[in-house]
Amino acid sequence: MRKTYILIGKRIEKSEAHPYGWKRVDFVPEDETCVVVLGGNGTENDEQSNGNAKSVDLLLKAYGLRDGVNVYSIIYRNDAEGEEHFIPYLQQLRSREVLFEKHGRKEIKERTPKQKEFIEKAEQLQGKSAVDASNPEISDPSYVENLFDKLLLYRISDLDGQRLPFEEAIGRVRKLNIVAHCHSAYLFLKLEDMMQQKMKEFGYSDEERKAIQKQLLCVAFAPYAPLGVSKSTMLSFGSMKDDEVWHQNAFHREAQNLDKTGEFKLSYFEEKLGNVFVASSMTEGQVGSVEHSFSNYLMPKRALSEEGEIMVLFGRNAVLNGVRGSKEGRLISNVRDLLCGDDAKTLCLFEKLRERGKKTYAKLMNLARKFALTKAKQSRGNL
């Protein structure tokens, strides 16, 4: 069976030996205050990974928060060779679908001709199991545990595999801030599942596991994973014009339909809806891969829409206030403080977006019910 794994790099001062301010490392030390950037699954080399980390590095420096904070980023790797090179990417697609289905999101889009071709070829090369949910590289990819051991294991256990005192564990976890993009939102949820499993094995109580998990911050941009299911503090940001992401549910389908009429406006959907900001568009007059770009959200290189500017404000706040709290040893209390701090103007804007989110959600669910009724009538008519 082909194996997948994760490499890690770190931002450092430029030197003759490291002209790009970047070097490979084996793991992230368990007691460091840091930001770890989990780029999308297209992050396959040092240049791409360094570019992701650089965005966070520059952001922290711009706000005077870089001292005492290390910035890391990951590289996705696999052992596939030759004509099998595409199979890991196909398996990552299936991994996301399986996780969506596990959480009740079952509206899988019809395969594109290219996807059908790849699936057929994968089954010819490796058999039906290549893209079946029972395949371990789909249900529990090996790169998840590989990264967990390098990043999270020793924030909740000692070198002898024993649990840490509660205060030490919660403090170590709070020092870690994660920024994720696209497929790495899926990776984050799988890391979270493994963290919960390991804490249970180590003997942490239910209350301790809940408290520790809340202190793991993830700020996810263009997340390609089920939202509203995380036990961590997970904040997400996405665009309706991003056509690379599909959340397999009525919410996304009806939001897309509403956006086509020009009625969808930037909204914040709280709590069980995912703590997610969704804009109609991040950029001016762009769609697709441009809207999906990681760089739009922290250090944009192109003109943003008015909604995009607001998304950047809250995305940056989430990262900056998360890091600031880590440096000061403050536990996360609530999402609003992370997003707004003590700025009255930002808080007022946040409340407006939250109220709009409630109204938009009610409208979307009404549209979804009408869609379901129409579909049911059509089904009865075909009997």
Banded model confidence at residue 252, pLDDT cuts 50, 70, 90: very high
Question: HSE of 5 in the Cβ direction (CA atoms, 13 Å)?
Answer: 11
pLDDT of residue 378: 72
pLDDT in tens, 294-345: 988 998 888 899 999 999 999 999 999 999 999 999 999 999 999 999 999 9
Compute the distance between CA of residue 197 and CA of residue 130 in angstroms, rounded to an integer: 27
Please state the domain extents for the chain.
4-80+141-363
Banded model confidence at residue 383, pLDDT cuts 50, 70, 90: low
pLDDT in tens, 278-307: 999 999 876 667 899 998 899 888 889 999
- Structure-model confidence comparison of residues 84 and 19, the more confident one: 19
pLDDT in tens, 193-235: 999 999 999 999 999 999 999 999 999 999 999 999 999 999 9
* Integer angstrom CA distances of residue 280 from 233, 235, 329, 340: 24, 18, 36, 22
pLDDT in tens, 158-202: 999 999 999 999 999 999 999 999 999 999 999 999 999 999 999
Q: Are 111 and 118 in contact (CB under 8 A)?
A: no
CATH architecture of 4-80+141-363: 3-Layer(aba) Sandwich (3.40)
pLDDT of residue 246: 87
Mean pLDDT score across all residues of the chain = 94
Task: Please tell me the pTM assigned to this model.
Answer: 0.95
Does the structure show a pLDDT above 50 at 1? no
